[in-house]
Every structure is written in structure tokens, then in C-alpha cells.
Amino acid sequence: MKDVTFGQYYPSHSFVHKMDPRVKILAAIAYIVAVFLVQSYHFVGFAACLLFVLITTAAAKVPFFRVLSSIKAILFFVFLSAVLQLFFHKGGTPLWEGGFITDEGLLSAGFIVARIFLVVLGASLLTLTTSPVELADGIESLLTPLKWIKFPVHEFALIMSIALRFIPTLLDETDRIVKAQKARGADFESGNVFKRAKALIPVLIPLLISSFRRADELADAMDARCYAGSKHRTKYKRMVPTYRDLIGVLVMAALITGVVLINTMLPF
């Protein structure tokens, strides 16, 4: 349990890993926009997006199968959307006499599948190359303008980072409680779904109680270290964009221009 890495962060010292998390988050959003900009059936645009994913994966020194494996989680969803497209797409000529699957339906199913795959690949590149802590810091920094509308950005960021900090601790604790309850004869493996869900109650209740105790102690420790909200607070960690981020921005701009150009230039 000690070495559990939550999320799917793949540690490395690559070009992409060293980029500013804020730039990466914005780039991921821009990438998703680019994928959605690709107009119907312009698979050339998708090819451009795929090329971008491949280049980024190489620059991030992440094994490509790690990027691909993120698709596993959404396979069922993709399959469902493809089937729906196949059966309910109106228009086009049937593939065979009297059949209800049309050529256009097939095309649009392929289109949807490609779109979802590309979006997920790009998004997973973000989480593969950016640790949860960096992500939280990046989100905090990007949300800073919301302070103008009195959104508690600092508190929000603190909640995120404390949650991240306590995930491994609580996993450890869960492990310990499960073992303790097993030693007392608890049975988590047999019985139907309901029985097994019920067997989890003796794990969840101690976990809940201990979480409250932890929260209490943490609050004391924070008070003792002079915590008083965001007022007069300085920040040690600073994110400074480098030449890497400039290159990242340029590549993103190239991708979006490419997709738009393909949309307008290629006749369909």
C-alpha cells in the first residue's frame, strides 16, 4: 500500500514533464477544442491530432501503451455510442438491400469513435505527465482571477492539496482496518453483492470516525503553525514558464491552425 501511485502519473524528467502545469492544462483544453473543430468526416484533421498525440508522447518519454491503456476505461462507452450511431443515423444509402445500416451511419460511427479516442488520449497525456500536486497548483493559479468575484481560490486549493495528501494515508488506514476486521472473523469475499456491501460497513465506520479525528488534529497542527487563511500569506512555490512552454504554445497554435486550414481547404 505504501507505494501506491494514485491517478496515472508516470514519473520522468522529460520535456513535457518539466513544462508549466498551467500551460499543460490550457494546452489540453486547446487540444480538445481542436479535436471538436474537426468537421464531419474530415479524417485528415483527426490524423493531425493523432500526430500531435504521438509527438507529445515521444517528447514525454511515456510508453505509448500507457497512453493507450487509458482507453480501456471508456471502451464500453465508445462501443455504445458507435452502436447508437450505426442504428439510428438517418440518411445515406443502406449497405445492403433492405438493411438499416447506411454508409453514412458507418462513417459517422467511425467519426464519433475517433473523436472520443483522441480526446481521451490527449487528456490522459496531461495526467500522465503532471503529478496531482502540480495539477492542483496549476488549477489554483488558473483560478486566481476568480478572486474578483470572491471565489475562495486559496481555500479551494488547500482543500484539494490536503485531499491529495491524505489519499495514501487513508488507503493505509483502510488496509489496516480491513485486516483488523478479518482478524475478528469478518468475511468480505463471500455472499452476493448486498451481503458484501453490508460487510463493508464495519470498515467504513471506523474509517469515517478516524478521518474526523485526523481532521481535528490537522486543524490543531495548522493553527499551531500560525495558519490564518489567505490573508497576508506568501507563497513559496512559484511557477515560471520557460522556453518549453513557449514551444508548447507554438505547437498548440500550429495544431489548431492546421485543423482549421484542413476544414476550409479540403472540399467535402
Partner 1 sequence: MALLEAENVSFSYDKKNMAVKNVSLSVDEGEYVAIIGHNGSGKSTLARLFNALLIPDSGKITVDGFCSSDKNALFEIRRRVGVVFQNPDNQLVASIVEDDVAFGPENLGVKREEIGERIEYALKAVGMEKFRKSSPTRLSGGQKQRIAIAGVLALKPGILVLDESTAMLDPQGRKEILEVVRKLNAEDRVTVIAITHYMEEVLHADKVFVVNDGGIAMQGTPAEIFRRAKEIKQMGLELPLAAYIAEKLRQRGVPVPEGIMTEEELAEALCVLLPKI
Please report, as ranges, the residues that interact with partner 1 according to CB under 8 A.
2-3, 132-133, 161-162, 164-165, 168-169, 213-214, 217-218, 220-228, 232-238
Q: State in angstroms the smallest separation of the CB of 134 from partner 1.
A: 10
Q: State in angstroms the smallest separation of the CB of 45 from partner 1.
A: 39
Q: Which is nearer to partner 1, 195 or 213 (CB)?
A: 213
Distance, in Å, from the CA atom of 110 to the CA atom of 262, rounded to the nearest integer, reads 19
Q: Which is nearer to partner 1, 64 or 227 (CB)?
A: 227
Nearest to 140 by CA among 4, 264, 25: 25
Cβ-contact 135, 127 below 8 angstroms: yes
Q: Which is nearer to partner 1, 72 or 238 (CB)?
A: 238
| For helices 21-37 and 43-60, angle between their N-to-C axes, nearest 10 degrees | 160
DSSP the chain: -TT---TT------TTTTS-HHHHHHHHHHHHHHHHHS-TT-HHHHHHHHHHHHHHHHHHT--HHHHHGGGGGGHHHHHHHHHHHHHH--SS-BSSTT-S-BHHHHHHHHHHHHHHHHHHHHHHHHHHHS-HHHHHHHHHHHHGGGGGGT--HHHHHHHHHHHHHHHHHHHHHHHHHHHHHHHTT---SSS-HHHHHHHTHHHHHHHHHHHHHHHHHHHHHHHHTT-BTBTT---S------HHHHHHHHHHHHHHHHHHHHHHHS--
Q: Which is nearer to partner 1, 81 or 210 (CB)?
A: 210
Q: State in angstroms the smallest separation of the CB of 173 from partner 1.
A: 9
Q: State in angstroms the smallest separation of the CB of 10 from partner 1.
A: 16
Distance, in Å, from the CA atom of 256 to the CA atom of 97, rounded to the nearest integer, reads 41
Q: Which is nearer to partner 1, 107 or 170 (CB)?
A: 170
Q: State in angstroms the smallest separation of the CB of 232 from partner 1.
A: 4
Q: State in angstroms the smallest separation of the CB of 220 from partner 1.
A: 6
Q: Which is nearer to partner 1, 133 or 186 (CB)?
A: 133
Q: Which is nearer to partner 1, 90 or 237 (CB)?
A: 237
Q: Which is nearer to partner 1, 62 or 157 (CB)?
A: 157
Q: State in angstroms the smallest separation of the CB of 9 from partner 1.
A: 11
Q: State in angstroms the smallest separation of the CB of 132 from partner 1.
A: 8
